[in-house]
Amino acid sequence: MFSYSDFNNKLSKGSGIGELMLDLGNGLEQAHRQKIEISMLGGGNPAHIPSMEEIFKAKWNELGNDPILLARMLGDYSAPQGLKEFREILAIYLSKQLNAKLTPDHIAITQGSQSAFFMLLNSFSGELESNKTFQKILFPIVPEYIGYLDQSIKRNSFTSIIPIVEKTAKHRFVYKINFDLVKDRISKRDIGAICLSRPTNPSGNIVPSSDMVELYNIAYSSKIPLIVDNAYGYPFPNIAFVSAQLEWKPGMIQVFSLSKLGLPGLRTGIIVADPEVASRIGEMSSILNLAPGNVGSFFVENWLNNGQISQFSNEIIQPFYKEKSNFALSLLDECLNEKVEYQIHESHGALFLWLHFPNHKLNSRQIYNKLKSQGVFVVAGENFFPGLEVDFSHKNECIRLTYSRSPEEVNRGIKILASVLAS
Amino acid sequence: MFSYSDFNNKLSKGSGIGELMLDLGNGLEQAHRQKIEISMLGGGNPAHIPSMEEIFKAKWNELGNDPILLARMLGDYSAPQGLKEFREILAIYLSKQLNAKLTPDHIAITQGSQSAFFMLLNSFSGELESNKTFQKILFPIVPEYIGYLDQSIKRNSFTSIIPIVEKTAKHRFVYKINFDLVKDRISKRDIGAICLSRPTNPSGNIVPSSDMVELYNIAYSSKIPLIVDNAYGYPFPNIAFVSAQLEWKPGMIQVFSLSKLGLPGLRTGIIVADPEVASRIGEMSSILNLAPGNVGSFFVENWLNNGQISQFSNEIIQPFYKEKSNFALSLLDECLNEKVEYQIHESHGALFLWLHFPNHKLNSRQIYNKLKSQGVFVVAGENFFPGLEVDFSHKNECIRLTYSRSPEEVNRGIKILASVLAS
């Protein structure tokens, strides 16, 4: 009805993440209307962990008993870069965890990590009038998070590298970074930043520390930042079944989130970067959002101070998901073995399993649609390859399956998946 | 240290809103360190109204007593366009208030109205590849909100019209829309949307209903949207001392906020528009933010259902600010009369007074700096003219002064202002 700008058309037309969020929001409702049972194995909503919910409830009520704090939290804008006192506490906690000397100036709070990545990915890709070039973000390993796919305001802002596929057991594999291809791509000198999630969403891969060091060295010597998305990782919520520890060093941009602790409704993201980068993010935040919300910061402040956030992560959240992962893996092996050709990426962490069905007559989009028609929501694999410029069989042969839901839902979903694949 | 994109450079370099938010955040801290008294008459932080804070506290504790609700609010992502049930309740409430037949599809929730305007202003300005044109946002009357100034991702995306200055009393005036100039500008056919705030931030002007109808007709016949920012206006928080009622009609985009009710820490904005626009905002939200935060929606849901949000606005918030406005106006007249040449825009609403010092030896930036050095924060007027392409004496002769602070702060600030101007 109106003339929309390229900006609007680029960002509002049928994105993968939009479809996923619609499935998540509308899937349940639609299923209720049609009175069919559903298995919501699509979205990335964290699980409702009863003991964490008790902790959240107690914290909510504690905040409610302090009228002065409450008045500030609800009634005052924070600085665009986030509350100074909260960034001071974060700096102390994260200095220890990341073996770095961080100050509040290294930190910027955002309206969730999705918002952080919108700012970051567009800050290091696109046009540079000053030297008439066009930079791209390099994803050194794909599949990679669906939420990045459509975040660039300019087309062709992303490029990515096919991984080495390494077999680890009869039905298991792991993706490895192909450093020869990464170095080759970097040498073209149009890369503005290297970016990866760890654990990787969707594969659950935790890129080994030695590879992180190598990536860092490549980025540092190319004078571009290494951006690491720790939304599921170290030090919180630490949904990692192998070590995900990581240091911060100058030139790195690490991003953290409260969502996978179980607080996605509070939209709180945290950027740790060189002060110049953090300050630019603060400036951008003032223009895009005025300021981040306060509730997330007040919620976790004491847990950072006394280290409980690590304790919750390691003693409650991580074991909870580890058990869920094991359950889903056993069930998949039980239901698929001898019936279907399948491979599952090693489950190092995050909430997902990444399933590969080589040479199946159905591609990932067809599997997605058949499952959806029976009330089972997964995410088709093709959405996880931002900037891929070459063919890779996995792109159309994989699905992402969330294992964080109830055993009943997971059980039902996997049984229907097996029947769809075997029929 | 890195090569930043044009996007980053455009959005992170010394914006007016960045300076304002820094003053707001750091001003207090700095003043405390230097042990000087300060008067924070710069920012747009709403006042802490004791009876509203009681109401907020009760609501916080009520939410904390409902574990099921709490678990959803903290632990579940909403749909990108906002929670369906909240949009249903909003549709019913706003249909009545705006005399329109609204459905949930007309509504999108955002992370505050600043975020809504980032999406909207860039959706209707900038390049259109499809027909090789470049659209601009037209501000039909300036001064206009400082927060718009730097929001476009492309330079030269805004244009604006000098108002008619109408004298209303010895030291009072009001700005009026110059419709001849507006129509003339529209006829160049490069305008993508018309946008204004009502009450206007900074002038406190409430553009009359008849002018709103005329603007709507101009926009509608040009097939462009009329965007109205009701952050301070009708129906909530209704900080309006003359009627600010407004209807919604197809082709309009109205934006509302919970911030000036006293809840800026919850970052909740509301867009009411044609379903196509609202749906595009939802899509963009999924890419920029995944989803809006939940706390704001849950906070006001019942108050929309039972109409209390209007009652709070009309019986508590509006009279509170009316008294503050009267106090500041009397004091200004008392301190400035016979000493300085001055004019004050009629105070129709919002939290600000807009002061004009014609022919003064100090320009607005110099007044700002002299006041700041004495611990009095105001905002220099030059930041409130987005897209102005011609000279207008008011641009360098005005300041914005917030009257929402304590009588002591306002009193001290105005006395220092008078002494700076008279010296």
Place of tokens 């030695």: A210
Burial A307-339 (b: 16+ CB within 10 A, else e): eebbebbeebbbebbeebbeebbebbeebbeee
pLDDT of residue A423: 86
Q: Is A7 close to B126, i.e. CB distance below 8 A?
A: yes
How far is residue A297 from each of residues A351, A420, B222, measured CA to CA in Å? 24, 45, 46
Q: Is B114 close to A289, i.e. CB distance below 8 A?
A: yes
Decide if pLDDT at B24 tops 70: no
- Whether residue A96 lies within 8 A of chain B, CB to CB, comes out as no
pLDDT of residue B33: 67
Q: Tell me which chain B residues have a C-beta less than 8 angstroms from the C-beta of A132.
A: none
**Averaged pLDDT, groups of 10, chain A, 423 residues long:** 91 75 67 75 92 98 96 93 95 98 98 97 92 93 95 95 98 98 97 98 98 98 98 98 97 98 97 97 94 96 97 98 98 95 98 97 95 92 95 97 95 97 92
pLDDT of residue A24: 66
Name beta bridge partners: B39.
B376
Tokens encoding B319: 């009279």
Nearest to B276 among A1, A80, A265 (CB): A1
Cβ(A186)–Cβ(A221) below 8 Å: no
Q: Which residues 213-272 in chain B show a CB within 8 A of chain A?
A: 223-225, 262-267
Place of tokens 């959405």: A383
How far is residue B385 from each of residues A3, A29, B149, B186, B209, measured CA to CA in Å? 25, 46, 7, 18, 23
| CA–CA dist A268, A90 (Å, integer) | 13
Q: Tell me which chain A residues have a C-beta less than 8 angstroms from the C-beta of B14.
A: 283
pLDDT of residue B405: 93
Query: What are the pLDDT digits (tens) for B315-358?
Result: 999 999 999 999 999 999 999 998 999 999 999 999 999 999 99
| CA–CA dist A159, A165 (Å, integer) | 19
Going by pLDDT thresholds of 50, 70 and 90, the confidence category of residue B30 is low
Q: Which residues 285-344 in chain A show a CB within 8 A of chain B?
A: 286-295
| CA–CA dist A37, A22 (Å, integer) | 18
Going by pLDDT thresholds of 50, 70 and 90, the confidence category of residue B31 is low
Q: Is B75 close to A53, i.e. CB distance below 8 A?
A: yes
CA distance B239 to chain A (A): 17
Q: Tell me which chain A residues have a C-beta less than 8 angstroms from the C-beta of B383.
A: none
Residue of B nearest to A150 (CA): B287
Task: Give the number of other Cβ atoms within 10 Å of residue A410's Cβ.
Answer: 22
Query: What are the pLDDT digits (tens) for B181-206?
Result: 999 999 999 999 999 999 999 999 99
| Cβ neighbours of residue B379 closer than 8 Å, sequence gap 6 or more | B16, B20, B42, B146, B202, B368, B399, B400
CA distance B156 to chain A (A): 14
Place of tokens 């749906």: B279
Q: Tell me which chain B residues have a C-beta less than 8 angstroms from the C-beta of A1.
A: 223, 274, 276-277
pLDDT of residue B32: 61
Name beta bridge partners: A109.
A270
| CA–CA dist B273, B119 (Å, integer) | 13
pLDDT of residue B19: 72
Cβ(A310)–Cβ(A98) below 8 Å: no
CA distance B166 to chain A (A): 32
Nearest to A286 among B17, B153, B276 (CB): B17
Q: What number is the average pLDDT over the span B140-166?
A: 96
| Cβ neighbours of residue A55 closer than 8 Å, sequence gap 6 or more | A312
Q: What is the mean pLDDT of chain B?
A: 94
Q: Tell me which chain A residues have a C-beta less than 8 angstroms from the C-beta of B281.
A: 12
Tokens encoding B77: 């992502």
- Whether residue B283 lies within 8 A of chain A, CB to CB, comes out as yes
The strand order across the sheet containing A343-345 reads A164-169, A172-176, A343-345, A352-356, A398-402, A379-380
- Whether residue B5 lies within 8 A of chain A, CB to CB, comes out as yes
- What secondary structure, in 3-state letters, does chain A show? CCCCCHHHHHHCCCCHHHHHHHHHHHHHHHHHHCCCCCEECCCCCCCCCHHHHHHHHHHHHHHHCCHHHHHHHHHCCCCCCCCHHHHHHHHHHHHHHCCCCCCHHHEEEECCHHHHHHHHHHHCCEEEHHHCEEEEEEECCCCCCHHHCCCCCCCCCEEECCCEEEEEECCEEEEECCHHHHHHHHCCCCEEEEEEECCCCCCCCCCCHHHHHHHHHHHHHCCCCEEEECCCCCCCCCCECCCCCCCCCCCEEEEEECHHHCCHHHCCEEEECCHHHHHHHHHHHHHHHCCCCCHHHHHHHHHHHCCHHHHHHHHHHHHHHHHHHHHHHHHHHHHHCCCCCCEEECCCECCEEEEECCCCCCCHHHHHHHHHHCCEECEEHHHHCCCCCCCCHHHHCEEEEECCCCHHHHHHHHHHHHHHHHC
pLDDT of residue B36: 72
Calculate helix-pair angle for A275-289, A113-123, nearest 10 degrees. 110
Cβ(A161)–Cβ(A139) below 8 Å: yes
Nearest to B48 among A75, A153, A280 (CB): A75
Place of tokens 């917030």: B402
Query: What are the pLDDT digits (tens) for B72-107?
Result: 999 999 999 999 999 999 999 999 999 999 999 999
pLDDT of residue A268: 98
Nearest to A53 among B2, B71, B283 (CB): B71
